[in-house]
Amino acid sequence: MRTSIHVNLDLCCHCGQCVQDCVTHALILDDADIPAFAEGKEKNCVGCQHCMAICPTGALSFGGKNPEDSLPVGMGKSDDLLRLIQSRRSIRFYKKEDVGQEMLGKLSAMLPYIPTGGNADNLYFTLIGSRKKMDAIRKTTYECMAKASDPSPMFIMARDAYAAGNDVVYRGAPSLIAVAIDKEKTIPGCEMADPIIALSYCELYAQSLGLGTLWCDYAVLCAKQIPEVMALLEIPQNYELVYILLFGLPAVHYARTIQPELFTIRVLQ
Ligand SMILES: Cc1cc2nc3c(=O)[nH]c(=O)nc-3n(C[C@H](O)[C@H](O)[C@H](O)COP(=O)(O)O)c2cc1C
């Protein structure tokens, strides 16, 4: 990661917001009131780019990024986001066709915006982007389940269901996204939070694109118990699979939201 900053002196208004917002206090205003790394502090920079994002005049470039290439901030409409959250459903029926390159491109382009503890570059995403590749995973999964010498109750249930024409592991989905973590690069305590936050973002964004999704414990169990399935996910050795989200074009349509009554929610004042 390049952590250099460059300040356009014609644009800098010396407001110091970049310094105030620097999470690791790596920046200072120098004698001329220009932001700079404090001596020996550049190594503390986590590369969050807040300094570039907050600069009101676009004077500060971070790591060779041009502030003009950033997007204007936009928070969207909170009512729309709430309705998306309320309307999201687990989808267990998918159309045959692939989601297509455009959707895969949109999902891939969203991923770098996901937050991680300490802005760590610690996640690895595998997107299975075609039914052909997904069918290879499906076939391997059920073949290995059928061959298992001492099958778990879950394996027995899944392979019996598959023999009867029901893919209870992958629900006939044409795609999945698997998230894996490099624990060495992860802030202690964030090993579960980082990948699960990532898939939560994926789920909501995918559903906003009209895709169906399903958090899939079964798929995770299969990948962890069947080395041949894990191999098909092509996760590098230093990364550990954490979770899998199935996705595809939904073959079901929900006409209304549910009316949930879950959880204990207390507001203390
Ligand atoms: C962490 C997690 C794991 C899940 N694993 C599975 C799974 O393996 N198979 C499945 O059919 N549904 C799975 N689900 C979906 C839940 O069963 C589902 O969220 C629940 O039935 C409520 O439905 P809704 O998501 O439409 O509100 C999982 C959900 C979560 C959050």
**SS3 of 28-55:** EECCCCCEEECCCCHHHCCCCCHHHHHC
Q: What band does 11 get if pLDDT is binned at 50, 70 and 90?
A: very high
Q: Which element (helix H / strand E) includes 219?
A: helix 217-225
- Nearest Cα neighbor of 103 from 248, 215, 253, 252 is 248
Could you tell me if the CB of 92 is within 6 A of ligand 1? yes
Could you tell me if the CB of 200 is within 6 A of ligand 1? no
Q: What band does 259 get if pLDDT is binned at 50, 70 and 90?
A: very high
Which residues, in sequence order, are bridge partners of residue 27?
A: 37
Q: What band does 1 get if pLDDT is binned at 50, 70 and 90?
A: confident
CA of 194 to the centre of ligand 1 (A): 19
Could you tell me if the CB of 157 is within 6 A of ligand 1? no
Closest residue by CA, ligand 1 atom 9:
216
Contact assessment for residue 60 and residue 43, using Cβ atoms and an 8 Å cutoff: no
Could you tell me if the CB of 158 is within 6 A of ligand 1? no
| The pLDDT of residue 89 is above 80 | yes
Could you tell me if the CB of 215 is within 6 A of ligand 1? yes
pLDDT higher for 61 or 2? 61
Contact assessment for residue 97 and residue 130, using Cβ atoms and an 8 Å cutoff: no
Test site for ligand 1: of 92, 217, 218, most ligand atoms within 8 A of the Cβ: 217
Q: Provide the sign of the torsion angle of the four alpha carbons 12, 14, 18, 19, taken in this order.
A: positive
Q: Residue 71 carries which DSSP code? A: P
User: pLDDT above 70 covers what percent of the chain?
Assistant: 100
* Residues 49-62: tens digit of each pLDDT: 999 999 999 999 99
* Residues 242-251: tens digit of each pLDDT: 999 999 999 9
Which of 3.30.390.10, 3.90.550.10, 3.30.1330.10, 3.40.109.10 would CATH assign to domain 78-248? 3.40.109.10
Give me 197's structure tokens.
């936050």
**Quick one: pLDDT at residue 266?**
97
Threshold 0.85, pTM exceeds = yes
Mean pLDDT value across residues 51-76: 97
* 5-69 classified as CATH 3.30.70.20: yes
Could you tell me if the CB of 135 is within 6 A of ligand 1? no
Give me 163's structure tokens.
């023999």
Domain locations in the chain?
A: 5-69, 78-248
Closest residue by CA, ligand 1 atom 6:
216
